Structure 1
Amino acid sequence: MSKTPGRPLRADAERSVRAILAAAERVLTENPGASMEQVAEAAGLTRTTVHRRFTNRQALIDALAAEAASKLAEAIEDARPGTAPPLIALHRATANVLRVKAAWGFALGPAAAQSEQAAQIHEEIARRCTALLGRIQAQGAIAPDADLEWVRRVFYALIGEALHSEDPTTLDSGPDPDALAARIVDTLLHGVGPRAS
């Protein structure tokens, strides 16, 4: 994130990094081509301060992608995918992911370059998701011969489509993330065909 990733940041430096990342998310969501100067202005900091923390624009975007990926991993971990009842964990993880993805649209979107750190976090998230789907499969809610990698990709696609069909900035005030999560999970597990009576 900073020029010296091995050293912990002082509290004031940590605050400025958080302010820079929050400003970068806002500014880059509105204008993906925004400059470091525009980010600095939005953060209420000098350009020098931003450059002291991030050597260049790509370093800032990489740090933003890693921060957002970490928030996503925390949201999934909050659902206790390894220990909670599997269907409850899936619903909670889905709602949590919707909230994080709505808040970090640029950093989790295709416009943000994936840093090596972010890519590693996303690999671990995929592994955790597939393991949770395996627990659900073991309970009989997913067909025993289903390819869990395919199921995971469909699950990701449903989340993406749900976010694209709604204004993600209104998830807290508009559509209820829990209701949207229930719809996603229901579609994933039951499809759209008629239900047996």
Structure 2
Amino acid sequence: MRADAERSTARILEAAEKVLADDASASLEKIADAAGLARATVHRRFASRKALVDALSERFNDRYRHGIDQARVGTAPPMVALHRLTESAFEVKTSYRLVVDLSHGPDDDVLAGIDLLFARLHESGVITAAQPTWCRNVYLALLHEVHLLPADAAELADGGDEVESRSALLIRSVLGALGGKPQPRS
């Protein structure tokens, strides 16, 4: 793809993230306007709305994969990795609200990374639940619910910034649900 076409595609995706997060039913024309491009340019890059949402989903999963890598789920102390992954997950959910709302969840690579982390948490004795898939499902369900809490929810009043507060609540809830105890971050 030529450099100008790549820039146009990036502009379209960035505009789509913002526009669709505010209005999930926004037209491709509205996205083109927000990107500062002609509607025909958007249609050349994305033949349909589904193709555009699929591209956003791929970006969403790239960010999740990056979060898995940054958390070092296979090598960092498990609780450190859990904290890093959780903070990254809230940042991704905030940036990719539309993709999350359309149930385009994490791909198989991301799910495998989360499963590895929960297997390591079990092996280290942090949690008693032994099935990584179950642990992951509990984590993702609670992640979604904590994400939906309004910023002024009493559950989030721990004095930190919003991502830290949400992360702390999620980790406490997940550890409690999976038979664990709060651990220092090390």
Task: Specify every segment of 5 or more residues in structure 1 that has no aligned partner in the other structure, as ranges.
Answer: 1-8, 168-173
Instruction: Please give the alpha-carbon distance, in whole angstroms, between the structure 1 residues aligned to 2:66 and 2:123.
Output: 25
Q: 1:179 & 1:99 partners in 2: Cα distance? A: 13
Instruction: After TM superposition, give the deviation of residue 130 of structure 1 in Å.
Output: 0.7
The sequence identity of aligned pairs, in percent, is 38
The answer to which of 40-49 and 27-36 deviates more is: 27-36
TM-score (norm 2): 0.83
Q: Which runs of 5+ in 2 are unaligned?
A: 152-159, 182-186
Partner of 2:37: 45
Count residues in correspondence: 172
- 2:124 partner letter: Q
Cα pair 2:83 2:171 within 8 Å, conserved: yes
Identify which of 94, 110, 113 aligns with 1:102: 94
Please report how far the alpha carbon of residue 12 of structure 1 lies from its aligned counterpart in structure 2 after TM superposition. Answer: 2.0
Q: Deviations over 1:143-173 (max 9, x none)?
A: 1x53321111111111111110035xxxxxx
Residue in 2 that maps onto 1:155: 139
Residues in 2 aligned to 1:77 and 1:157: alpha-carbon distance in whole angstroms:
22
Give the stretch that moved more between structures: 176-185 or 152-161. Answer: 176-185
Determine if contact 1:69/1:108 at 8 Å carries over to the other structure: no
**Higher mean C-alpha displacement, 123-132 vs 9-18:** 9-18
CA shift digits 1:26-70 (9 cap, x unpaired): 222222222111110111101111111111221111111111121
With structure 1 as the length reference, what TM-score do the two structures score?
A: 0.79
Regions of 4+ moved over 3 Å:
none
Return the offset for 1:107.
Answer: 1.7
Question: Deviation of residue 180 (structure 1)?
Answer: 2.1
